[in-house]
Amino acid sequence: MTEPVTALGAMSGTSLDGVDAAVLVTDGESIASFGPTAYRPYAPEERAILRAALGRWEGPEVEAAVRVVEVAHAEALGPLASDLVGFHGQTLAHDPRGRGTLQVGDGDRLAQALGRPVVWDFRSEDVRQGGEGAPLAPFFHWALARHVGATEPLAMLNLGGVGNLTWIDPRHDRPEAPGALLAFDTGPANAPVDDLLLRRRGQPRDEDGRLAAEGTPWADVLERFLAHPFFGRPPPKSLDRDAWADLAAAVEPLSDADAAATLTACAAVAVGQGLALCPSPPRRLLVTGGGRRNPALMAMIAARADCPVEPVESVGLDGDMLEAQAFAFLAVRVRRGLPTSAPGTTGVARPTCGGRIGRPRA
């Protein structure tokens, strides 16, 4: 192992719930140890500002979102000591084959506020090189698989606002090695259900999947959902949070419970489609992200998988902080000039090192 450094990663995900922050001691290849974590939720009015900026590339809504993101990150990260910071920012819009990908705030300003180097803008270079710019956690998934001693192919599934799946062959000693990783977004995960609960009941989510468990998924909506061209595309592939805006209209006539059950089933069938794309059947499916706390969703996924489906806690990992740890890991890789994506993870032409480094002025 090269000399490890103490890196602090921060993720503000598509669920718009808050900022996750986590310390990781790593050389960017293997994991020496996991450090302290913090969570800074967005207040309802901050969440509304972020929501209003979704899908926008510029303008006053975006400027307001930038301020919210920078303030929340300075508060979340300030108390956690580190040698450097990996700052993902908040994705507002993602259209890699069109306008690009937009994560706000500004890492140079955050470096100034924190007095530490900040690695940021992780996705743009990958997009410039022809990649999807997402998902980026897969290189970290590879390191985790090796850290927990996996010896056979396995898969990791993140259930955030959007879902993403990584198939990992841990026998490869570099994540960019051809055949080590295949990764892609599966489809919408929690975002459509969160949006439904907010619209109909003023609640941020379907707590423990209780509403979905009371309802029945509507087969015709699922059928139309699966007819979306996204499912015909070969991996790697990625999604914008609101790529499935018409799902909301499709469940509008349904009862609250049936609508929640149907949207939850959409997330699960999308994962099922994803599992079928893996180069070989994974021995186990380790689930991270908030959706692993939703028993209705987990049961629907387990029904579509040919292997055990377990939260990452079953191998001693922290499913709330895994993405924040990923950006700590990637920050160290950027500082060392190591690749952060590869043809198998984003479809980029060749292994690519993304990210810029903001440094505090003396």
> Binding site: residue ranges?
13-20
Query: Out of 185, 194, 206, 258, which residue is the one contacting ligand AH0 (CB under 6 A)?
Result: 185
Given the rule CB under 6 A, which of 42-50, 69-77, 290-298, 345-353 is the region that contacts ligand ATP?
A: 290-298
Given the rule CB under 6 A, which of 12-20, 63-71, 73-81, 259-267 is the region that contacts ligand ATP?
A: 12-20
Q: Name residue 75's amino acid.
A: E
Question: β-pairing, 118-120 with 84-95?
Answer: parallel
Q: Is 274 in the site for ligand ATP (CB under 6 A)?
A: no
| Rounded Cα gap, residues 45 and 150, in angstroms | 43
Q: Which is nearer to ligand AH0, 254 or 269 (CB)?
A: 269
SS3 162: strand
Given the rule CB under 6 A, which of 29-37, 111-119, 133-141, 256-264 is the region that contacts ligand AH0?
A: 133-141
Q: Is 160 in the site for ligand AH0 (CB under 6 A)?
A: yes
Q: Is 6 in the site for ligand AH0 (CB under 6 A)?
A: no
Find all residues with CB under 8 Å of 166, minimum gap 6, and list them: 135, 137, 138, 141, 142, 155, 156, 157, 181, 182, 183, 345
Q: Which of 39, 58, 48 is nearest to 16 (CA)?
A: 48
Q: Is 161 in the site for ligand ATP (CB under 6 A)?
A: yes
Structure tokens at 213: 């468990």
Q: Is 199 in the site for ligand ATP (CB under 6 A)?
A: no
| Rounded Cα gap, residues 259 and 198, in angstroms | 13
Q: Which is nearer to ligand ATP, 285 or 338 (CB)?
A: 285
Given the rule CB under 6 A, which of 13-21, 72-80, 172-180, 279-287 is the region that contacts ligand ATP?
A: 13-21
Given the rule CB under 6 A, which of 157-165, 173-181, 253-261, 328-336 is the region that contacts ligand AH0?
A: 157-165
Q: Is 137 in the site for ligand AH0 (CB under 6 A)?
A: yes
Start-to-end Cα distance in the chain? 31
Q: For ligand ATP, how many residues bind (rule: CB under 6 A)? A: 21
SS3 273: helix
| Rounded Cα gap, residues 147 and 34, in angstroms | 11
Query: Out of 6, 14, 340, 352, which residue is the one contacting ligand ATP (CB under 6 A)?
Result: 14
Q: Is 17 in the site for ligand ATP (CB under 6 A)?
A: yes
CB of residue 347 vs ligand ATP: minimum separation in angstroms? 19
Which of ligand ATP, ligand AH0, none lies near 242, with the C-beta cut-off 5 to 8 A by kind?
Answer: none
Residues 320-339: x where in contact with ligand AH0 by CB under 6 A, - otherwise, as a string: ---x----------------
Q: Which long-range contacts (CB under 8 A, 24 or more apart) does 97-104 make?
A: 99/57, 100/124, 100/127, 100/133, 101/127, 101/133, 101/134, 102/57, 102/62, 104/53, 104/62, 104/65, 104/66, 104/69
Q: Name residue 165's amino acid.
A: L
Structure tokens at 154: 């396995």
Query: If phi over 0 gives left and psi between -120 and 50 gives alpha, with beta otherwise, what is residue 215?
Result: beta
Query: Out of 290, 347, 354, 358, which residue is the one contacting ligand ATP (CB under 6 A)?
Result: 290
Contact 196, 248 (CB under 8 A): yes
For ligand ATP, the binding residues (CB under 6 A) are: 13-15, 17, 158, 160-162, 190, 194, 205-209, 289-291, 293-294, 323
For ligand AH0, the binding residues (CB under 6 A) are: 13-14, 91, 94, 101, 134-137, 158, 160-162, 164, 185, 238, 323
